[in-house]
């Protein structure tokens, strides 16, 4: 009877838990530490009992081989000591950081409570897709349960929550709240997957659940935040915003409606803007961007993303016409730059191209004109953009999209030149959708750019569809082959022309060497070019 009374008394106590959805910078131990301390001090003033930060929030995610660098983990421990010595004893905090013991490194959650430091070591280490945690960490094997304001709380890290066994062990010990700290990157449909996974865990355990996710971008990855709380009835009771830092108090009482009414184009566009903004600003070596503005849809969308990311005053747009550049392209490029109030310049490349061709004439005598001469134009443009980048300290944004990069319809050291590629994981059909979406906010991309037939304008009367099937057909084939990894035989069975499928898939395989040399770009799909997709450049495999 006494135990039952004590349990009722504990359940009646209130606890104020706040989620701190933050955007850390990888390796910025000083900056991340000060952010954790500042937000903890503010939370203490608000009367918060427990403040929860994301996975590896002290060092940023993914730290990659920084974890192998001599002295890095010791610096981490020094920052943990500083946090412990600085914050009040009257607030508990949870944050993620590596922990090393006996030369074994763990991906850990730290609990600082009453000046004591406790640890939970992640048990389920992901080693697929963009994740390679087994390269660095060993798995923990023990649950972690603590008390705060009389509540029994269990702590897990990211992938742990996707495993029934790990969660059920804690739930069977009578916990009332499960907290998962995460560094879960964005891709289309990912947030819904998280919700469904946590709903399964809650329905299995009948336990309140708090999901705290990182926000921000790191190289190829974008973290969307979207932290949430779910009560024991599997109802969402708190939802933090996408792609924004936020601190908010948790409630398990009133179910809310999720923000899934936003069009997918808005979510993807916001992801690309954040990725571009963070890549430029976190690197802290560029004072803006330079873009080759061609009058086409890809550069038009890239310019819009850049402007929304860092502001038009930090952008220089360069149009570089040659004799195949149409008047429409010249007009539309200038119209967009003027509408957006972007610094715009034209550099005519006629003389430079002619000079290159003259110098090569003796080597190419008797040979037909082909893509060689087309690529010379693209490479001259790339060289000019890189020269402007060097002189002005602005990063070149590459404008190639995923469809072009997949089949090699892009020039190495030409239009592939640059430091970051916002559209690297965006196929051509989605480029059009995003451009139309951006114009619903304010009309900055000329309608003619969206409506006209796409062309590289490197040869007379050239159109992309001279060399490729329609982008609707191309992107459908590429999605099946790249993102879903289906065989050629399976793709043909879906109703596509056999010759076309074999031609396109062989182009993908043949151009792996180009993609290895391409600029990084944000991942939005289930299978992006970059660290996630590791195919050999030299291979005889026939799919």
**Nearest 5 degrees, angle CA 269-CA 273-CA 278?**
150
What is the longest distance spanned by two Cα atoms in the chain?
101
Q: How far apart are CA 250 and CA 243, in angstroms?
A: 19
- Tell me if 404 is assigned to a ligand binding site: yes
Q: How far apart are CA 340 and CA 313, in angstroms?
A: 10
- Tell me if 455 is assigned to a ligand binding site: no
158 belongs to the catalytic site: yes
- Tell me if 102 is assigned to a ligand binding site: no
- Tell me if 513 is assigned to a ligand binding site: no
Q: How far apart are CA 416 and CA 542, in angstroms?
A: 27
In order, the DSSP letters of 439-506 are HHHS--S-HHHHHSPP---SSTT--GGGTS--HHHHHHHHIIIIIS---HHHHHHTT--HHHHHHHHH
Are 529 and 424 contacting, i.e. CB atoms less than 8 angstroms apart?
yes
- Tell me if 525 is assigned to a ligand binding site: no
- Tell me if 184 is assigned to a ligand binding site: yes
- Tell me if 399 is assigned to a ligand binding site: yes
Q: Count helices and strands (H / E) in the chain.
A: 17, 18
As a whole number of Å, the end-to-end CA separation of the chain is 69
User: Which member of 35, 48, 55, 532 is catalytic?
Assistant: 55
- Tell me if 190 is assigned to a ligand binding site: yes
Cis peptide before 62 (omega within 30 of 0): yes
Q: What sign does the CA torsion over 37, 42, 44, 49 have? A: negative
Q: How far apart are CA 271 and CA 472, in angstroms?
A: 23
Q: How far apart are CA 416 and CA 533, in angstroms?
A: 19
- Tell me if 66 is assigned to a ligand binding site: no
Query: Which of 130, 444, 154, 148 is CA-nearest to residue 317?
Result: 444
- Tell me if 256 is assigned to a ligand binding site: no
- Tell me if 294 is assigned to a ligand binding site: yes
122 belongs to the catalytic site: yes
Q: How far is Cα of residue 2 from the mean position of the Cα atoms in its chain?
A: 53
Q: How far apart are CA 91 and CA 260, in angstroms?
A: 34
What pairs with residue 247 in β-bridges?
A: 20
Phi and psi angles of residue 440, each rounded to the nearest 5 degrees, phi first: -75, -20
- Tell me if 366 is assigned to a ligand binding site: no
- Tell me if 59 is assigned to a ligand binding site: no
Q: What is the CA radius of gyration of the chain?
A: 26
User: Which member of 158, 159, 374, 402 is catalytic?
Assistant: 158
Listed in sequence order, the residues at least 6 apart from 84 whose beta carbon sits closer than 8 Å to its beta carbon are 112, 115, 117
- Tell me if 298 is assigned to a ligand binding site: yes
User: Which member of 35, 79, 122, 282 is catalytic?
Assistant: 122
- Tell me if 375 is assigned to a ligand binding site: yes
Length of the chain: 543
Name the token pair of 144. Answer: 């972690």
Please give the annotated binding residues for L-glutamine, written as ranges.
128, 184, 190
Please give the annotated binding residues for ATP, written as ranges.
292-299, 399
Catalytically active residues, by annotation: 55, 122, 158
Please give the annotated binding residues for deamido-NAD(+), written as ranges.
375, 404, 514
Please give the annotated binding residues, written as ranges.
128, 184, 190, 292-299, 375, 399, 404, 514
């Amino acid at each position: 009877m006494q135990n039952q009374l004590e349990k009722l008394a504990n359940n009646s106590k209130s606890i104020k838990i706040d989620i701190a959805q933050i955007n850390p910078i990888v390796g910025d131990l000083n900056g991340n530490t000060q952010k954790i301390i500042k937000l903890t001090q503010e939370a203490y003033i608000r009367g918060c009992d427990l403040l929860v930060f994301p996975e590896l929030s002290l060092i940023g995610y993914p730290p990659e081989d920084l974890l192998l660098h001599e002295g890095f983990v010791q610096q981490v421990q020094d920052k943990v000591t500083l946090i412990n010595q600085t914050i009040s004893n009257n607030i508990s905090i949870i944050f993620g950081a590596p922990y090393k013991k006996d030369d074994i490194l763990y991906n850990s959650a730290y609990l600082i409570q009453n000046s004591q430091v406790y640890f939970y070591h992640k048990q389920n280490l992901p080693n697929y897709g963009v994740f390679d945690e087994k390269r660095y960490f060993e798995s923990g094997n023990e649950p972690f349960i603590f008390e705060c304001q009389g509540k029994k709380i269990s702590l897990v890290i990211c992938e742990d929550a996707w495993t029934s066994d790990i969660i059920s062990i804690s739930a069977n010990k009578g916990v009332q709240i499960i907290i998962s700290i995460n560094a879960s990157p964005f891709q289309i449909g990912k947030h819904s997957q998280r919700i469904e996974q946590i709903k399964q865990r809650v329905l299995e355990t009948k336990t309140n659940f708090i999901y705290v996710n990182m926000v921000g971008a790191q190289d190829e990855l974008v973290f969307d935040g979207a932290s949430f709380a779910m009560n024991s009835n599997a109802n969402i009771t708190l939802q933090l915003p996408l792609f924004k830092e936020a601190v908010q108090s948790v409630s398990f009482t009133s179910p809310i409606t999720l923000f899934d009414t936003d069009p997918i184009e808005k979510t993807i566009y916001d992801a690309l803007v954040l990725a571009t903004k963070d890549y430029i600003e976190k690197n802290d070596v560029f004072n803006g961007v330079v873009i080759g503005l061609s009058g086409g849809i890809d550069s038009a969308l890239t310019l819009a993303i850049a402007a929304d990311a860092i502001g038009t005053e930090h952008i220089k747009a360069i149009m570089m016409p040659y004799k195949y550049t149409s008047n429409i392209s010249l007009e539309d490029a200038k119209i967009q730059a003027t509408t957006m109030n972007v610094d715009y310049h034209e550099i005519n490349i006629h003389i430079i191209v002619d000079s290159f061709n003259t110098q090569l004439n003796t080597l190419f005598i008797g040979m037909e004109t082909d893509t060689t001469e087309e690529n010379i134009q693209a490479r001259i443009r790339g060289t000019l953009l890189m020269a402007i980048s060097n002189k002005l300290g602005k990063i070149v944004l590459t404008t190639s999209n995923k469809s072009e990069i997949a089949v090699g319809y892009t020039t190495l050291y030409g239009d592939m030149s640059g430091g970051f590629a916002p559209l690297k994981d965006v196929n051509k059909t989605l480029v059009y959708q995003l451009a139309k979406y951006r114009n619903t906010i304010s009309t900055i991309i000329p309608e003619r750019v969206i409506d006209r037939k796409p062309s590289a304008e490197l040869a007379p009367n050239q159109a992309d569809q001279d060399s490729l099937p329609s982008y609707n057909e191309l992107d459908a084939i590429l999605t099946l082959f790249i993102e879903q990894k289906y065989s050629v035989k399976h793709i043909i069975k879906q109703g596509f022309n056999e010759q076309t499928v074999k031609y396109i898939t062989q182009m993908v395989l043949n151009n792996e060497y180009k993609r290895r040399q391409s600029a990084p770009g944000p991942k939005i799909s289930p299978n992006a070019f970059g660290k996630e997709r590791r195919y050999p450049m030299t291979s005889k495999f026939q799919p």
